Structure 1
Amino acid sequence: MAFIFASHVLAFPTIDLVFQVWNLNISLCFVSYTRKPNWATSASHFIYPPNIFPAPPDFLALVADFIDGILLKPDHKRAWLSPFLTVYEVFSVPSRAARFILAFYCYVARTEEDVWGLLKPCIHNGILAPTTDQRLRYADWLFVWAKERTSVSPRMASLVDEYHAVIDARAASGEIWCRNSPDIGLFDVFEPTVLASALQTEHNLGHLIFGESLWGSLGSCSSKRDDPITAVYRKHGLLNSPTMLKPDAYNSLILPHAEFRGKRSLHRPTFAYRGPKEMWSVTRDFPPNCHWSADAKMQRKSILHPSLLTGSDRDSLLFKNIVTSSLGVAIGPLEYCGIGHIVHIGGIPR
């Protein structure tokens, strides 16, 4: 519950909605090193962190500072671009970092543009009261999370299959191997169509994602080369780093709907893991004989492997099962323990 006044908001949040906003060294998923709370004694002195959707340049500058810190002091925690890569593995590779940023842009952009269309039909007399069918519709917003299987394009399906073939062969060999070595041939599973809305903006970072040559051959929007992300990688001499993408997988940038989510799309299973957090992925975790760095010093950095969930443990976490077969809540803007329920009195919904 919240009461909105001219210059203040009086809120009574439940414990799952309590949060603290940090200063300009952080915006959502980018963790601050200074950890200074972003608060002020008056509204006129409060500084809002930049948002990627209306202000990409300011947001990119914020992220560039974060990347600079990571490159100066490597972080070996998991990064969540893939649940199984470390922060350093993501942000030391310009392509991976750019994909991470554009994925965040697409998430924010869709929320800004479409979330009211999802929420409005569920509000009755000022109360959020979605039906079961309305709650289930949010699953269409999710690509992998809590889904039994996911729709993928034929080229993404091939990338998934090749990815698993490589890690299975390496696991069977029993020999220690480095997943980021160019000789391994382990390419990231990436479908550009997922990032279509971001790749068609002037701040697309396409030259970082695909490399200058491939980006140019895809006949896509031109990229700005003076953005803060490009600048920070230029500073560290990493602009020509491998993209970790399979070059011949991309003959076109954005696929038609029929190939991506329509009748020509394919399906691949999802994998659920439990670690510090619940994780869902279209690829499996690396085997125990896999190291993330060929550097012996880096190898000593301990990385905990999450536990693969199967059977009833996995089934209980599926979005559709939480909504239809439990009293719990899944994820999304319609999932709250305190949502209303429509009752009919005298044939009138109330």
Structure 2
Amino acid sequence: MVPPPTNLLLIHTFQLRKARVGMAFVFKDHVFAFLSSDLVFQPTWATSRAALPPPPSDFYSANWDFLDCLANWIRSRPNCDRNGLACDVIRSTRDVFLGIGLSLLLTEAEVFSNPSRTARDLLRPAMKDGYLAPTVQQRMRYLDWLHVYAKDQTKLPARMAVLVDDYTDQLEDLSGLQMWFRYDMGTLYDVFEPTYVTEALSLPHNLGHLIFGHETWVELGGRLSDGSDALTSLFSDEGRLSQSFSYLRSQPIFLAGLLDSPTFLRPDHYSPLFLPPADMNAYICPRRYIHGSTICKVEGKSSGAGMITEVKGEARRRTLFSYIVQQTRMVAIGPLEYCGNAHQVHIGSSTVIAPCFGDPTLPEYFAIRDLKTRILAPVLPGSRRPALSATEEAELDTQLAEYSKAVLRKRARDGEGDENQPLGDVPAKPKRSRLSADKRLALMTVN
């Protein structure tokens, strides 16, 4: 492996680049640290490699092994408290679900992403001179890979919109009661769209017969599995499979046997099984969306009571993907956010790639200008930056002075100058001039 060039290294202070140390290894001359912006960091320790727990099976590349792991986890849960939210279980059960943080409405389509398509359409345009240096516009394109998470608006199939309306209407009716129980919910069908998981339902060992029931799955033309997967074996061994395969019920009453009870899927609602792409963005909803538009606001109608608190107003706006990317210096989610540390710097008519803000290899004037853009809050296109207060001006001057000291220390360490030598005045930006007609004619004659 070729060692990284040392001329790109610049000693920063925490005032210039705020971070928290999740874990650090201190050596004689260097410190190898894993930094975190929010300190969401959990290492696992063991006295030997053999003592470490086995890594969880990947549910995309090792789907069969993942189902085995999931079935074993379900077997261990019957006597546990199971009244908590499913999303909390998914986050906390690291041995099965890898500790993935999932949105409440995150679909499986977002999890089962296609790495080849992502590399072609998302990453390659942002690669510049070997660095991942995305622009704001390229970072915003990642919204196309998300369905609901951190989006202000989303689009859904029309038949899924019907389920959303029915679900929210029933919850709204129940919220007006002083007291109600789960069995009072009536026919509250799950908001499920099989088209989002087409790839998973097309596998040879898919779980369509468990999701829809054997008879309904065959009627819909689904690919029938041989039932040898771990989940089917689990429910069969425990006597939870109905021999009649009559799974779909209109009344949500739990009968004896898991699949002799309702699936909570609306009957006669999933034909055809998979929708064409043109039907996936047609949210026909007469309420809660702009008249004549197929774009629906991602908003609920239920009250604030319950286990989930709805975020509204300014607090909600600050969590949106577009706000984080366009109006802050923080990162949202996605590969361009976590790995796209480099950025493009315009120097006159040319563009160079800086691995980080304040890159010490840049000319001093442009390095300081680049650092200012990092310190100051972003400005939306078409807007003007508000004037800084006296306190903000003083804070900016302090941070730029810290950067200048870091550059001087680096020059002294590299033998390029004295640490106590003051930096020169920042040169004025070179003015571009046009060639006169005589000069242009003379150049054409020489050529």
User: TM-score under structure 2 normalisation?
Assistant: 0.56
Decide whether aligned partners of structure 1 residues 263 and 66 sit closer, same or farther in structure 2, where only a CA change above 3 A counts.
closer
Between stretches 236-245 and 50-59, larger displacement belongs to: 236-245
Q: How much has 1:337 moved relative to structure 2?
A: 9.1
Is 1:155 the equivalent of 2:159? yes
- In the alignment, what sits opposite 1:314? 316
User: How far off is 1:144 after superposition?
Assistant: 0.6
- The offset of 1:174, in angstroms, is 3.0
Deviations 1:7-39 (CA, angstroms, capped at 9, x unpaired): xxx9753225875577xxxxxxxxxxxxxx689
User: Which runs of no fewer than 5 residues in structure 1 stay unpaired?
Assistant: 5-9, 23-36, 88-99, 272-282, 289-303
- Structure 2 SS opposite 1:342: strand
1:121 and 2:125 matched: yes
Per the alignment, do residues 199 and 317 of structure 1 end up closer, same or farther by CA in structure 2, a change over 3 Å counting? same
Who is 1:251 aligned against? 271
> 2:71, 2:230 within 8 Å by CA — same for their partners in 1?
yes
Native 8 Å contact 1:323 1:329 kept in 2? yes
Distance 1:188 1:213 in 2: 19
- Residues 156 and 283 in structure 2, CA contact (< 8 A), matched pair in contact too: no
Q: What is the rounded CA distance, in whole Å, between the counterparts of 1:127 and 1:165 in structure 2? A: 50
Q: What residue number does 1:94 align with?
A: none
Percent of aligned pairs sharing the same letter: 35
Q: Which residue of 2 aligns with 1:68?
A: 75
Q: Is the 8 A contact 1:199 1:221 kept in 2?
A: yes
The 2-side partners of 1:285 and 1:233 are apart by: 35
Q: Is the 8 A contact 1:123 1:130 kept in 2?
A: yes
Listed one character per residue, the Cα deviations across residues 61-90 of structure 1 (whole Å, up to 9, x for unaligned) are 01111122223423333212xx89999xxx
Q: How does 1:179-328 map to 2 (within 5 A)?
A: 181=183, 184-236=186-238, 237=240, 238-261=258-281, 266-271=294-299, 288=305, 305-328=307-330
Distance across 1 between alignment mates of 2:276 and 2:332: 30
User: How do 1:128-143 residues align onto structure 2 when only pairs under 5 Å count?
Assistant: 128-143=132-147
Q: Is 2:359 aligned against 1:331?
A: no
Asked if the contact 2:110–2:145 (Cα under 8 Å) also holds between the matched residues in 1, the reply is no
Contact 2:155 2:296 in 1 (8 A): yes
Could you say what secondary structure the match of 1:335 adopts? helix
1:155: how far off? 0.3
Match 1:41 to one of 38, 49, 58: 49
Q: Amino acid of the residue matched to residue 331 of structure 1? A: I
Separation in 2, partners of 1:50, 1:78:
23
Classify 1:221/1:214 alpha carbon distance in 2 versus 1 (closer, same or farther; 3 Å): same
1:163 is displaced (CA, Å) by 0.7
Q: Give the superposition deviation at 1:177.
A: 2.4
Counterpart code for 1:253: L
For 2:388, the equivalent position in structure 1 comes to none
Q: Secondary structure at the match of 2:268?
A: helix
Number of residue pairs matched? Answer: 285
Deviations 1:184-233 (A, max 9, x none): 11111111111111111113200111112221110111123111011222
Contact 1:151 1:260 in 2 (8 A): yes
| Native 8 Å contact 2:134 2:342 kept in 1 | yes
8 Å contact kept, 1:205–1:224: no
Deviation of the 1:103 alpha carbon? 5.5
Query: Partners in 2 of 1:171 and 1:330 — Cα distance?
Result: 34
Determine which of 13, 16, 27 is the counterpart of 2:34: 13
Match of residue 349 from structure 2: 347
Between the aligned partners of 2:91 and 2:351, the Cα distance in structure 1 is 51
Alignment of 1:75-114 (within 5 A): 75-80=82-87, 104=108, 106-114=109-117
Counterpart CA distance in 2 for 1:86 and 1:226 is 28
Amino acid at match of 2:271: N
> Deviation string for 1:23-62 (max 9, x for gaps)?
xxxxxxxxxxxxxx689538xx995432222221111101
Q: Deviations over 1:82-127 (max 9, x none)?
A: x89999xxxxxxxxxxxx9x965x4454243333222232232333
| CA pair 240-286 structure 1, distance change in 2 beyond 3 A | farther
Give the letter aligned to residue 66 of structure 1: W
Structure 2 gaps, min length 5:
5-30, 93-103, 241-257, 285-292, 353-447
| Inter-CA distance 48–317: structure 2 relative to 1 (3 Å threshold) | closer
Q: Secondary structure at the match of 1:249?
A: coil
SS in 1 for 2:155: strand
In structure 1, distance between residues paired with 2:192 and 2:259 = 20
Give 3-state SS (helix, strand or coil) of 2:142's partner.
Answer: helix
Aligned-residue CA RMSD in angstroms?
3.7
Per the alignment, residue 59 of structure 1 pairs with 66
Instruction: Answer whether contact 1:230 1:239 (CA < 8 A) is retained.
Output: no
